[in-house]
Structure 1
Amino acid sequence: MAIDFKNFNINNAYSLEGQTAIVTGGSTGLGLAITRCLISAGAKVIVLSFETPEQAAEALAEFGEQAVFYQFDITNTDHTQEMVDKIIADHGQISILINNAGNHCKKYIWDMSVEDYVKVLNVHLVGAFALTKALVPHMKTFNYGNIVFMASMTSYIGQPQVSGYSTAKAGYLGLIHTLTAECAEFGIRVNAIAPGWIDTPMFHKATDHDSTRLSKIMGRIPAKRVGDPMDVGMCAAFLCSEAARYITGACIPVDGGALIGF
């Protein structure tokens, strides 16, 4: 559809007013920043997490009725469709899905069991696939939807001790390409974000007592600083808005230039 330049207001292009999103892992870390940005843009956010309702309530209190929590383990794929159907029955049209839930297993491959590896894949790839599969037919009925996967630097570069994580994150790239080819004609856009090193508790856990690792990371980032979680949240809100209406099948690095850093 052509843009009506006479009546164009760029603020409207970035608005998510009236839309409802599902964000997995949306009450902590990067997920909480995504929740905050989507709500700021006007959306209502359904947060899915294995956290207890009490834990989530504290994190989401600032958003009032704009954030609704459902306790759910996305690896419980036998019940994914049931959960999605309940959310749709409770809240109506769901036009945004952010696949953000994840876990880590920091081990070298010679120390990692097959069970460790499969557990990581089940959260990142299998759980996200099941949730996406459950929602796409719903989005098709409205000829509209936006799906975003949370990729990683490890989608592109080698890092030690994260073979399961890197497999899953690289797998997202193939998945968004295939889903784009399948879903674009139905008005459903599928993209990914690849965060670099972001100022989160996980980052501090990995670097606060490892000056060598921190120095190596900072030496790779042309921007000479780590990112803020809101940098990722704002990118997610953009990708789900009409301002990005012709962007699909893309993975956007939010990394201060780390992927091309020397």
Structure 2
Amino acid sequence: MYAEQAIAMITGGASGLGLAMAKRFATGGYTTIIIGRNAERLRQAKEQIGAHAFTYAFDLTHFDAIPDLVQSILNDHGHIDVLINNAGIHLKKPMQDIQNEEFIRVIQTNLIAPFVLSREVARHMLERQQGHILHISSMAAQYGIPQVMAYTAAKAGIEGMTRAMAVELSPHGIRVNCIAPGFIETDMSTGALDNDPERKERVLKRTPMGQLGCPNDVAEAAFFLSSPAARYITGEILRVDGGNAIGF
């Protein structure tokens, strides 16, 4: 744990993996700042997490307003120790049916927004010569998965950006890492797989551990990578996938 009250900032923290990470950091003693677009979901998340949680309703595709958001958080809380870029959107369509605007929207949300937010938070971290930036990627960045062209492009960019950021920032005390979740059991994925038994069977057969992951598996990995226990880890893409990437 950091010497002073540690603060973690998590985008998309009101549901799914983001909420699981927010809960883990809060129980680990962090003041947890959750960024999201849906004010009602943010309210519900805060109720679940308790007094350690603070919420800010914000659309991260409003790039020009991100510096003001970061400054507002710094004014309210003093510093940011951990930034987790988790917010994202999905698009499932055959390549030939994807409209330019749809592709751009996915890239803006999943790649450009994490860059802009990381840049602004890094400016603050550079002054303190410490911090951890954690990106959330996807196994889509490492596989060829049909009908997720824009999402795949964005997440591949996230993994490349992780390495580039680590090289630039780590000499100044700022570590940068990335988690690539495999098939994790969330409301969205459960519905999709339950409606496609053949695909679910294929996923499980390829996963050596023989089961889907749960959001807390990702949360625990995020907490470890952000802790002093991972002080010598930077530029890493950590798969949390039950061995799916090495399965046959």
Q: How far 1:62 moved relative to its partner?
A: 2.6
Residues 70/16 of structure 1: CA separation in 2 closer, same or farther (3 Å cut): farther
Aligned to 1:219: 205
Q: Is 1:88 paired with 2:74? A: yes
Q: C-alpha separation between the residues in 2 aligned to 1:179 and 1:84?
A: 19
User: Partners of 1:147 and 1:159 in 2: how far apart?
Assistant: 27
Q: 2:216 aligned to 230, 243, 246, which one? A: 230
Q: CA deviation at 1:102?
A: 0.5
Residue identity matched to 2:124 = H
Match of 1:39 in 2: 26
Q: What's the TM-score, normalizing by structure 1?
A: 0.92
Amino acid at match of 1:29: G
Q: Structure 1 pair 17/261, CA: closer, same or farther in 2 (3 Å)?
A: farther
C-alpha contact (below 8 Å) 1:23/1:99 kept by paired residues: yes
Whether 2:181 is the aligned partner of 1:195: answer yes
Instruction: Rate the CA distance shift 1:113–1:16 in 2: closer, same or farther, 3 A.
Output: farther
Distance 2:74 2:81 in 1: 10
Deviations 1:80-101 (A, max 9, x none): 0010000000111101100000
Deviant stretches of 4+, over 3 Å: none
1:74 equivalent among 47, 60, 63: 60
The CA deviation string for residues 135-191 of structure 1, in whole angstroms up to 9 with x for no partner, is 101001111000000011011111111001000111111101111111011100000
| Partners of 1:55 and 1:103 in 2: CA distance | 16
The partner residue of 1:49 within 32, 36, 39 is 36
From 165, 169, 172, the counterpart of 1:179: 165
2:129 corresponds to: 143
Which residue of the partner structure matches residue 117 of structure 1? 103
Contact 2:176–2:234 (CA<8 Å) still a contact in 1?
A: yes
Q: Secondary structure at the match of 1:157?
A: coil
Aligned residues: 248
Matches of 1:55 and 1:173 in 2, distance apart? 28
* Alpha-carbon contact 1:146-1:190 (below 8 Å) kept: yes
Question: 1:218, 1:200 → 2: CA distance?
Answer: 15
Q: Distance in 2 between matches of 1:55 and 1:97?
A: 20
Distance 1:16 1:164, change over 3 A: farther
Conservation of the 8 A alpha-carbon contact between 2:15 and 2:41: no
The alignment partner of 2:51 has SS state of: helix
Question: Which amino acid is 1:240 matched to?
Answer: S
Distance 1:198 1:87, change over 3 A: same
SS at match of 1:107: coil
Q: What is the percent sequence identity of the aligned residues? A: 40
Which range moves more in the overlay, 179-188 or 54-63? 54-63
Deviations, residues 48-88 of structure 1 (Å, cap 9, x unaligned): 00012x32211221322211010001110010001000000
Cα distance between partner residues in 2 of 1:55 and 1:37:
18
Q: Give the Å deviation of 1:16.
A: 8.9
Conserved 8 A contact 2:132-2:226 = yes
Amino acid at match of 1:96: V
CA distance in 2, matches of 1:71, 1:110: 35
- So what's the TM-score if we normalise by structure 2? 0.97
Could you say which residue in structure 1 is the equivalent of 2:12?
25
Structure 1 alignment gaps of length 5 or more: 1-11
Alignment map for 1:97-176 (pairs within 5 Å): 97-176=83-162
CA distance in 1, matches of 2:205, 2:38: 36
